[in-house]
């Protein structure tokens, strides 16, 4: 079974996140008298709204445009080959000038989109670019975008619930509203620690899946080049887009708790281990 350790950790973190959701449902049911069917429908509707809007905003904010097959034939052929190996429908390919070499995927199986920056295609060799493409296709194949949207939706709803409970339970007017706002931030931040832990685990899985299709050495070289170029670049990506990209930037020790990506050196070490495991 692939990724047993990572999947076990994701299961534990996911269970904790589900416990948060159960608490949210109890608060909505007991405190506000909201019925269970309404809670479930509200969750799906809220997550669906975030999914649709988030996808459109990510594409819009980067200025992504459709990637012409006649201009980028090798990229299209690589995606077709890897998609076939993954038993995945070929996603829509788009290109964007991001100012930094990067790539990201949005959508789900059957309706995925992979965006590649022009800077990335200039930086990497064809083999390294294939590794990045395989990484993004793995995110679509593993339904990572949907998983993260659901997690972020639960965190957002927990924050809203905390706000209303504190703000409306108090009798201090403006003071209660301020306390509710603070409680909302604290509760959402705690929930996001677990959501982002899942995000970091899924990056390892996508790296490993990509390495199985193109080789760990190619994936490692691509990560190293992207990291070095990203540190030199001056472009600032939107946080929501950065969370989707293959490289999320380097962080301090404290910021790593709230980082969407693991440290690049650990990712490189992990994919090189995948390469060695073949021999």
User: Which residue stretches of the chain have pLDDT < 70?
Assistant: 1-7, 10, 32, 170-172, 230-244, 246-258, 274-279
Q: What is the number of domains present in the chain?
A: 1
- pLDDT tens sequence across 36-81: 788 788 888 888 888 888 888 889 988 999 999 999 999 999 999 9
pTM, rounded to two decimals: 0.82
Residue 136 a catalytic site member: yes
- Given a contact cutoff of 8 angstroms between Cβ atoms, the answer to whether 108 and 145 are in contact is yes
pLDDT of residue 29: 78
- Give the active site residue among 130, 136, 203, 212: 136
127: domain range?
4-277
Is 96 strand, coil or helix?
Answer: strand
- pLDDT tens sequence across 166-183: 887 766 678 888 888 899
Question: In angstroms, what CA-CA distances link 175 with 168, 184, 186?
Answer: 11, 14, 17
Nearest to 149 by CA among 243, 234, 278: 243
Phi and psi at 32, nearest 5°, equal: -105, -5
Phi and psi at 114, nearest 5°, equal: -115, 125
pLDDT of residue 53: 85
Phi and psi at 22, nearest 5°, equal: -60, -40
């Amino acid at each position: 079974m692939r990724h047993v350790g990572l999947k076990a950790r994701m299961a534990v973190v996911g269970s904790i996140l589900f416990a948060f959701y159960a608490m949210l449902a109890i608060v909505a049911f007991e405190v506000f008298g909201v019925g269970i069917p309404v809670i479930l429908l509200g969750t799906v509707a809220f997550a669906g709204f975030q999914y649709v809007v988030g996808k459109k905003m990510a594409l819009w904010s980067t200025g992504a445009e459709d990637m012409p097959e006649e201009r980028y034939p090798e990229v299209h052929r690589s995606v077709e080959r890897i998609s076939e190996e993954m038993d995945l429908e070929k996603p829509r390919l788009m290109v964007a000038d991001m100012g930094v070499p990067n790539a990201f995927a949005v959508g789900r199986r059957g309706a995925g989109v992979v965006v590649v920056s022009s800077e990335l295609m200039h930086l990497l060799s064809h083999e390294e670019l294939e590794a990045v493409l395989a990484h993004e296709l793995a995110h679509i194949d593993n339904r990572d975008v949907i998983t993260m949207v659901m997690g972020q939706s639960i965190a957002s709803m927990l924050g809203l619930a905390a706000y209303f409970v504190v703000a409306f339970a108090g009798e201090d007017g403006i003071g209660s509203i301020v306390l509710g706002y603070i409680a909302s931030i604290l509760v959402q931040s705690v929930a996001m620690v677990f959501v982002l832990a899942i995000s970091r685990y899924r990056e390892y899985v996508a790296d490993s899946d990509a390495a199985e299709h193109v080789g760990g050495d190619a994936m490692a070289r691509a990560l190293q080049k992207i990291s070095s170029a990203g540190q030199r670049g001056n472009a600032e990506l939107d946080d929501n887009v950065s969370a989707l990209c293959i490289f999320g930037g380097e962080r301090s020790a404290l910021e790593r708790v709230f980082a969407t990506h693991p440290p690049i050196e650990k990712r490189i070490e992990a994919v090189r281990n995948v390469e060695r495991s073949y021999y």
